[in-house]
Amino acid sequence: MESASVRPAPAGDAIEDTIEAPGHDVRLPEGYRPSPDEAFMNPRQLAYFRRKLLDWKDAILKESAQTLETLKAEPLREPDLTDRAASETDWSIELRARDRQRKVIGKIDAALRRIDTGEYGYCDVTGEPISLQRLEARPIATMTLEAQERHERDEKISRDE
């Protein structure tokens, strides 16, 4: 499937977003939430998760830009060594958080690519559908809960050996 783009719906409609994809227009009614009663990863669900991922990415990028502005505006100039050490610790924590968010953005981009290729919502290990509840909580999930738990157990065993 080619990349689909999401655009706002015309003003006055009770529609939150419209997704344009090859062959169809998908409209997301305001307040839409994917339901297990629908066909799994139908165009509406894909549009919903695309919007959720794009909104998350946008929020992270805005927060990162604000953090950079704050760090630039507050150089480390404290004459007191204790105050300077505290500021350096704060900077270090912020920079680690930004690094974690950079990694999340990579996972968001990968999830968006999976939507484009039709692989989104299916476990990388088993090929089974990932529950909507899990995708709602963690839209970048690539494994079912069971496969993730098995993976983590295997990782722990190999670390312990």
Query: Given a cut of 50, is residue 5 above it in pLDDT?
Result: no
In this structure, the chain runs to a length of 161
Average pLDDT over the chain reads 82
Question: Which two three-digit tokens encode residue 21?
Answer: 């994809």
Q: How far is CA 112 from CA 50, 79, 132, in A?
A: 6, 47, 16
For residues 74 and 128, membership in a common domain is answered with no
- Asked whether the beta carbons of 140 and 108 are under 8 A apart, the reply is yes
For residues 97 and 40, membership in a common domain is answered with yes
Kindly report, residue by residue over 118-155, the tens digit of the pLDDT: 999 999 999 999 999 999 999 999 999 999 999 999 98
* Host domain of residue 145: 123-161
For residues 95 and 140, membership in a common domain is answered with no
For residues 139 and 97, membership in a common domain is answered with no
For residues 146 and 109, membership in a common domain is answered with no
For residues 38 and 108, membership in a common domain is answered with yes
- Asked whether the beta carbons of 4 and 25 are under 8 A apart, the reply is no
Q: Using CB atoms within 10 A of its CB, is residue 45 exposed (0-12), middle (13-18) or buried (19+)?
A: buried
- Helical segments of 42-144, H only: 43-73, 81-117, 132-137
Alpha-carbon distance of 55 to 13, in angstroms, equals 21
For residues 159 and 109, membership in a common domain is answered with no
- Asked whether the beta carbons of 123 and 130 are under 8 A apart, the reply is yes
The count of domains in the chain is 2
Q: What is the pLDDT of residue 76?
A: 62
pTM: 0.73
Query: Given a cut of 70, is residue 32 above it in pLDDT?
Result: yes
